[in-house]
Structure formats: structure tokens, C-alpha cells
Structure 1
Amino acid sequence: MELHDPYRAPATIPAPPALPRALPEVRAQSQADSDAAEYYSPSTLKMVLLSPTTFGLYPLYWFWRNWQAIKRETGGSQWTWARALFSPIWAYFCFSDLRSAACNRRRDLAFDPALLAVAYFLLNLSTRLPNVGWLLGLFIFVPLLPVNSLLRRYHQDERVDMERMDRFNIWHILVVVAGGLFLLLLFIAMAVTPDR
């Protein structure tokens, strides 16, 4: 009978069986997916419908998602929610960072980021105009469209799946319907109420 010796080296453990290797096409596709940065670029229709019906909250969401992507790509320590909340101040930096990311792939922004940032800032200020001047604020998404278009071209070149960004789920549809009805009632009330 053999006694257990606590000082003896343990017996060798057999190596586990090798895992099956992925097909070369799958490996190449996963590497291509991991190399491309994924920024938030919904369809133009989605931006045009959701921005006015959320009264400008959807552009804040757009900034938040893109600041998250910039932080992920640069490894920065910025507060993405604060930059989205104060987007009129940070818009130039966001547009500039997104433009430089796309320029690495030989794509360029149709307009200067400074011009788009000034337009975004002025549209934000227009919400404080008296009478019907605040209606200009409903078009706050317009300066985002060239940047969004640039990101969509970048995603097409890099073969990033944009289908889930373009998809309308039930919440999007409910927001468009409820916000659209509210805007319609607001316009009717403005038309019926005489100016005083």
C-alpha cells in the first residue's frame, strides 16, 4: 500500500482536446468587423421623423452615442452624457472628431465642422424666440445630417451592419405617432388662436 506523499510533484494532467478552428472566411469577417469603428448613424428618415417628434431629444441621443464611440476609439476619459447634454458647446469637437475618423478612410465632410456647429448652436438658440420663431428649433437635426451621411458612407465602405440602426422598433413608432399628434394639435391651436 502506497502512502500519500504531500511533497511529491503532482501527476501531469492530460491536455484538453483542441477546439475546432473557425473557417477562414468567418475569421476574416470577424477581423474586419473588429477593425472598423462603429459610430451611430441612423437613416435620414429616422432622424427626420424622430428629431421633431421628440422635440430635440433625439439629436442629444445621437451625440451621446457618437461620444461613446469616440471615447471607445480614443480611450479618452470624457463624460459622454455631459458632452451630449451640452451638445451646443461640444458640437464642433464631435463633428471634428467624426470627420477625422472618416478622413482616415479617405472620406471627407461636405461642410466645415465649424459651420455645422454654429448652425446647430443657432438652431438651439432659436427655441427661445418669441411667437412662432421657436419652430425653427424643430429643425435642429439639419446640421447633423451631413455628419450622419459621412458616417453612413464610412460604414458602407467598412461593411459595418447598419440595419439595426435603421430599424424602427415599437418605441420609435409610438414616439413618432404620439409626438406627431402633439405637434399637429399644437399647430392647430396656434392657427386657431388669434395673435394678441
Structure 2
Amino acid sequence: MSIPHDPYTPPATEVRDTPPETIRDAPFYVVAPTKFVVLYVATLGLYQLFWFWMHWSRWRVGRRETIWPVPRAVFGLFYAHALARRIDSTLIERGVTRRWWPMTLATLFVVMEVLNYGSAIAWPWLIFHVSDAWLWLEWLGVIVIPVNCACLLRMQLAANAACGDPDARRNRRFTIYNLAWILLGISATAWTVYDGLRTGTL
């Protein structure tokens, strides 16, 4: 015999094995550290454009601040300190104790970005006026990627904690789009190495 449905019975709630994600609970982009490092290194740092865009996009929702995520992603070096301050203030508001030196990380990131962009702009002049300039510029590129990756990773770990998901359980799996970017980055790196060996510039 079927039991009649009681209209006053509250609806059953869905049981999740991941933290609930709302704009209020997660005002920043959450991503697992392993996934972050793989995407950053595989794309030779281009992942930071998406990374900054996601953080500012999430922060903008539900707030009265005039924020344009795209310019803040393209010119990330000008907004790294602002993002670090917002992450740190959110940690303080939520009573999360964390020693992560936000301003130092942001400053180091900005310095490395300035060196990187400056060398790219000065490339033609350096090649013709400085002996072995190409070698120094190559080494600069090698240094910038791991340093910036480490700085942004520390910021990401703080953002995860500020969102109440320090282990980033909601975003630790690689998607098909992630794999496509990884393959593209590896292909570009392999071609650069091959061309350098072939021409003798590596």
C-alpha cells in the first residue's frame, strides 16, 4: 500500500561531497594548487590571464565596485596588490589566521613582470648593442615563470582559504579544456626547444 505524500514534509536536501559554492562563500576563484601549477607552467604563464580574470569576475558579483575584469587580467601587474589586499581583508573578516605576506608577494610578482615586459620591449636594442643579449633574455624568461608561479600560487592558497575551501575540493579535476591548453603549451615549448637546437641559439 502506498503512503500518501504529506504536503507539509520539507523537501529532501541534496547531499554533496564538496563545499557549497556561492558568491558570498567564495568571492574568489578556487583552484587546487597542483592544477594551478600544471596549467601555469604548461602554458608558460599565460594561465595568469585567465586566473586574474576569474578572481576579479567573482569579486565583482554582488558588489558596488566598478570593476572591469578583462583590463585587470591583461594588466595584472597593476592590480596584483589590489587583489592581494582583498584576499587578505576577507581572511581577516572571516577570522582565518594565515601568514602569507600578501604585499611582498604582489611586489615580487610586479617586479618580475616589469623585467619581463621591459626585456621584451628592449629586445631589438639589446640584440644589437649587448653581447650575448639573447642568452641573458632567455635566462630571464626561465627565471620569471617559476618565480611568478610561486607568488601567484601563494595568493591562490590564501584565496582558497578565504573561500572556506583550503583544499580546493570544488576545482581540482582537469577538464577537457584544461588538457587542450596543456597540450598547446607543451607543443609550443617543444617547438621552441627544437628551433633553438636547430639554429644553435639554445
Give me the identity figure in percent.
19
Q: Which residue of 2 aligns with 1:48?
A: 37
The corresponding residue for 1:14 is none
C-alpha change, 1:38 and 1:185, in structure 2 (3 Å) is same
Aligned to 1:167: 173
Instruction: Give the structure 1 partner of residue 65 of structure 2.
Output: 76
Greater relative contact order (CA < 8 Å, ≥ 6 in sequence): 2
TM superposition shift of 1:195: 4.9
Map of 1:171-190 to 2, 5 A cutoff? 171-190=177-196
> Which segments of 5 or more consecutive residues in structure 1 lack a partner in the other structure?
1-17, 27-31
Do the aligned residues in 1 keep the contact of 2:87 with 2:162 (CA within 8 Å)? Answer: no
Rate the CA distance shift 1:43–1:81 in 2: closer, same or farther, 3 A: same
Question: Do structure 1's residue 142 and structure 2's residue 150 form an aligned pair?
Answer: yes
* Secondary structure at 1:74 match in 2: coil
By how many angstroms is 1:192 displaced? 5.0
Partners of 2:43 and 2:184 within 8 A in 1: no
Residue 46 and residue 160 in structure 1: after superposition, are their counterparts in 2 closer, same or farther (change >3 A)? closer
- Residue 113 in structure 1 maps to residue 119 in structure 2: no
Q: Computing the radius of gyration over CA atoms, which structure comes out larger, 1 or 2? A: 1
2:76 is aligned with what amino acid? Answer: S
Letter in 2 for 1:179: G
1:151 to 152, 155, 159: 159
- Displacement of 1:113 after TM fit? 2.2
d(CA) in 2 for partners of 1:174 and 1:33? Answer: 26
Compare 136-145 and 158-167 and name the one that shifted more.
158-167
Q: Offset at 1:73?
A: 4.9
Once the two structures are overlaid, the 10-residue window that deviates more, 62-71 or 83-92, is: 62-71
SS of 1:141's equivalent in the other structure is: helix
Q: Which amino acid aligns with 2:60?
A: K
The 5 A counterparts of 1:95-106 are 95-106=84-95
Q: 1:13-24 counterparts in 2 under 5 A? A: 21-22=10-11
Residue 100 of structure 1, CA deviation: 0.7
Cα distance in 2 between the residues matched to 1:45 and 1:20: 44
Aligned amino acid, residue 149 of structure 2: F
Q: Show structure 2 runs of 5+ residues with no match.
A: 1-6, 15-19, 120-132
Cα deviation, residue 96, structure 1: 0.6
Partners of 1:108 and 1:87 lie apart in 2 by: 26
Superposition TM-score, scaled by structure 2 size: 0.70
